[in-house]
Amino acid sequence: MSHALTTGRPWRVVLVFAIPLLVGNIVQQLYQVTDAFVVGRTLGVDALAAVGSTGSLLFLLLGFAWGMTTGFAIPTAQAFGARDHAAVRRSVAAGTILSAGSSAVLTVLALALTGPALRLLQTPAELVPQATTFAMVSFAGAAATVSFNYLSAVIRATGDSRTPLVFLAICCGLNAALVVLLVRVVGFGVGGAAAATVVSQAVSVMLCLEYVRRRVPVLRIGRADLRAARGDLGRHLRIGLPMGFQASIIAIGTLAVQLRLNELGPDAVAAYTTAARVDGLAVALLASLGLATSTFVAQNLGAGRPDRIRRGVSQALIMSVTGAVAIGAVLVTGGASIVRLFVGPDEQAVVDMAAQFLTVNGVAYAVLGVLFVLRGGLQGLGHTLVPTITGAVELVARVGAAIVLGAAFGYAGVVWGNPLAWIGAVVILVPATVHAHRALSRTPAADASGQAAPADEPTTVPVVVDGPIEDAIVLDAIVLDPAVLDPAVLDVAVPHQRGPLEVGAGTR
C-alpha cells in the first residue's frame, strides 16, 4: 500500500520503511546462500568456485542495471512526495522506456563479452566451462532481472516497501525450490542454478505488473504518459546513469579482486565467495537503512520538508552505526562456525580464509553503516557527482589492495580492500553531506524541492460550502481560497443542474 514518508517521526518512518527492505535483503541473500549451499554440497568446491568466479562480472553488468533502475525511481519518489500524480506517471513511463532499452543492450553486450571477460580475468582453466555456463544463462535472463528491479523500485517510491518484499519472498522461495530440482534432482549443474534465478524473477515480474494494474492506479501508465515522458528521459538519465556507473565502478574494483583471487587458486576463490555470501547477509540491515534513507529524502524533498530531511538522516545514522557494531561483533566471534555450514568437513583452509575475511570486514561495519546512509541521503536529493566520486575512490582502494597488498601479503592483503574502500568513501561523503544540509537549512520549506512557488499561489484555507441542494450530496472538504470557487474552475454542479456534486481540480 502506498504511503507518504512526509509525516511522523523521521526515525520511526525510516525504520518502519526499512524493515521490509531488511527482510527482503535477508531473503535475497538467503536464496544466494541456498545456491551456494546446493552447488557446493552437490557439485563440489570447484563448481562453487566457478559460480563465485562470475560474481564480479555479473555485478559489473547487472549491478549497473540495478543502480540505474534505482535512480530512475528517485524522480518518481519526489513527484509522489509532491502529490503530483501526473508527474508520477510520466516518471514511471520514462523509467519504463529506459529500462526496456537498457535490458536489450545489456543482454546483447553481456552474451558477447562473457567468454573474453573470463579469459581476461585469468579464470582458472578448470573453472572456465562451468563459469561460462552460469554467466551465459544469467545474462540471457537479464530482462527479467532489470524489470523486477525497476518495478520494485517504483513501488517503493510510493512509500510501499512491503509489497516488493512479498514478491521477492515468492521469487526467492521459487528459486530455492527450482535450484534443488534443477541441480540436485534433474542434474543440470550450475546452469540449472542460474536458470532457477531467471525463471523465478520472471514470475515475480508478472506478479508485480498485475499488482500495479489492480492496486496502484498512480503507477498505471498509458500511451499518453509514454508520449509525455519523452521530455523527462534526460532528467531520469542524469540521475540513473551516474548511479549505474557508480555500481559499475565498484564492480570494476571487485574484478581486480577476482583477478588476484584467481591467481591465488580455487581455495581462495571458494573462501572469498563463501565469505561474501555471509557478508552480504550480514550487511542487509545497513543496505536497507541506506535505501530507506534515499526514498525518505526524495519524498520529503518533493514535499518541501528540509527540516525532516536533516533529522531523518541524523537519526538513520544512529540506527545504522548501532546495528553495524552488533552485527560486526557476531561475525568476528562466530564467523568460522558460520562458514562451516557451506563447505565440506575437509576444507579447513577454505574455512580459515573465509573467517579472516569476515573478521576484517566485521570490525569496519560501522564505517559501512555511515557510508550507506550518507550516500543514500545524497542520492535522494538528486546529487549524483559525489556518490559517483565515492565509487571511484572505492575502485582505487580495492584495486590498490588487490595489486599492492595482494602481492605483498596474498589473500590477507586482498581482504583489506573493502575496509579501505569504505573509509575512503566516507571521508568524502561526510563534508559533502554537511554542505548539502547547510544548503537545505538556507532553503525556505516551500522551495525545498528546488522550484520557487509562484508569488500568487493561493493559500489553503477551510471554507464553508453551502448545501445541500436538491439531488446533491454534502462533501466535507478543504478547498483553495474562496476566490477560486467559480463553477467553471471547480466544475461543480450548481442548483440548475441535477445530479451529484462533483469536485474538480480546484479542491484538495
CA distance 350 to 342: 10
> What is the Cα–Cα distance from 56 to 67, expressed in whole angstroms?
15
Exposed/middle/buried for 410, CB within 10 Å: 0-12, 13-18, 19+? middle
Write out the H or E segment, with its range, that includes residue 460: strand 460-461
Q: How far is it, in rounded angstroms, from Cα 329 to Cα 331?
A: 6
Instruction: Calculate mean pLDDT across residues 429-434.
Output: 96
Q: Average pLDDT of 426-451? A: 78
Q: Which residues contact 367 (CB under 8 A, 6 or more apart)?
A: 419, 422, 423, 426
Q: Is residue 17 part of a domain?
A: yes
Does residue 1 sit within a domain? no
| Other Cβ atoms closer than 10 A to 368 | 28
Candidates 359, 353, 336, 360; CA nearest to 271 is 353
pLDDT of residue 430: 96
Please name the helix (run of DSSP H) or strand (run of DSSP E) that holds residue 41, with its range, or none: helix 10-43
**340 with 207, same domain?**
yes
Last residue of a domain, one of 405, 421, 447: 447
**Is 142 part of any domain?**
yes
The cell numbers describing 190, all together, are 550450475
Three cell numbers written together for 332: 568476528
pLDDT beyond 80 at 347: no
pLDDT digit string (tens) for 22-36? 888 777 777 777 777
Q: What is the pLDDT of residue 79?
A: 93
Residue 242 lies in a domain: yes
Residues in the chain: 508
Tell whether 396 and 496 lie within a shared domain: no
Are residues 244 and 304 located together in one domain of the fold?
yes
Please report whether residue 179 resides in a domain: yes
**Structural domain of 475:** 459-508
- Both 397 and 505 in a single domain? no
Q: Over the stretch 281-326, which tens digit does the pLDDT of each residue have? A: 888 889 999 999 999 999 999 888 998 999 999 999 999 999 999 9
Residue 345: the pLDDT is 67
| Number of structural domains in the chain | 2
What Cα–Cα distance (Å) separates residue 105 from each residue in 3, 102, 250, 333? Answer: 34, 5, 21, 45
Domain assignment of residue 398, yes or no: yes
Q: What's 8's DSSP letter?
A: S
SS3 state of residue 363 = coil
**pTM for the whole structure:** 0.72
Confidence of residue 440 (pLDDT cuts 50, 70, 90): confident
For the beta carbon of residue 203, count every other beta carbon within 10 angstroms: 18
161 occurs within a structural domain: yes
Of the two residues 40 and 146, the one the predictor is more confident about is 146
- CA 324 to chain centroid: 19
469 and 435 in a common domain: no
370-378: average pLDDT: 96
- Whole-number pLDDT of residue 452: 41
| Contact by Cβ (8 Å): 153, 161 | no
Query: Could you say which DSSP state residue 219 is in?
Result: G
Residue 290 sits at the vertex; the CA angle it makes with 399 and 163, to the nearest 5 degrees, is: 125
For residue 75, whether the previous peptide bond is cis, meaning omega lies within 30 degrees of 0, is no
Cell output for 480: 483553495
User: Which of 316, 4, 269, 382 has its CA nearest to residue 158?
Assistant: 4
Q: What is the pLDDT of residues 466-504, one digit of tens each?
A: 444 344 343 333 333 444 444 444 444 444 443 333 333
266 pLDDT more than 90: no
Longest CA span, the chain: 90
Q: Which pLDDT score is estimated for 444? A: 67
Sequence letter at residue 407: A
Quick one: average pLDDT of 397-404? 88
Is 257 found in the same domain as 373?
yes
Residues 461 and 470: their CA atoms lie apart, in Å, by 27
How would residue 123 be classed by pLDDT, with cut points 50, 70 and 90? Answer: confident
- 54 and 123 in a single domain? The answer is yes
Where does a domain end: 407, 425, 447?
447
Per the CB < 8 A criterion, the answer to whether 284 and 25 are in contact is yes
Question: Is the backbone peptide bond immediately before 468 cis, with ω within 30 degrees of 0?
Answer: yes
**Can you state the percent helix, strand and coil of the chain, rounding each to 5?**
80, 0, 20
How far apart are the C-alpha atoms of 54 and 138, rounded to whole Å? 10
pLDDT in tens, 182-220: 998 998 999 999 999 999 999 999 999 999 999 999 999
Same domain, 407 and 486: no
SS3 for 487-504, per residue? HHHHCCCCCCCCCCCCCC
Res. 363: pLDDT tops 70? yes
The pLDDT value recorded for residue 483 is: 40
Distance CA 384, CA 43 (A): 43
Give me the helices (H) in 363-404, please: 365-380, 385-400
Confidence tier at 60 by pLDDT (50, 70, 90) = confident
Higher-pLDDT residue of 114 and 481 is 114
CB neighbour list of residue 171: distance below 8 Å, 6 or more residues apart: 31, 148, 200, 201, 203, 204
74-87: pLDDT as tens digits: 999 999 999 999 99
Q: What pLDDT does 505 receive?
A: 38
Query: Which residues have C-beta within 8 Å of that of residue 29, sequence separation ≥ 6?
Result: 277, 280, 281, 284
Is the pLDDT at 119 greater than 50? The verdict is: yes
Domain edge (last residue) among 447, 479, 494:
447
Stated as kind and residue range, the H or E segment containing 457 is none
pLDDT of residue 74: 93
Residues 366 and 495 in one domain: no
Q: Are residues 501 and 407 in the same domain?
A: no
Of 215, 68, 243, residue with least CA distance to 147: 68
Q: Which is it for the CA torsion 212, 218, 221, 222, positive or negative?
A: positive
pLDDT tens digit sequence for 234-250: 999 999 998 888 778 77
Residue 2 lies inside a defined structural domain of this protein: no
Give yes or no: residues 368 and 464 share one domain.
no
Cell output for 116: 573474453
Percentage of residues of the chain with pLDDT beyond 90:
48
Q: Is the dihedral of CA 428, 431, 434, 435 positive or negative?
A: negative
- 461 has pLDDT over 50: no
Average pLDDT in the chain: 83
Together in a domain, 492 and 436: no
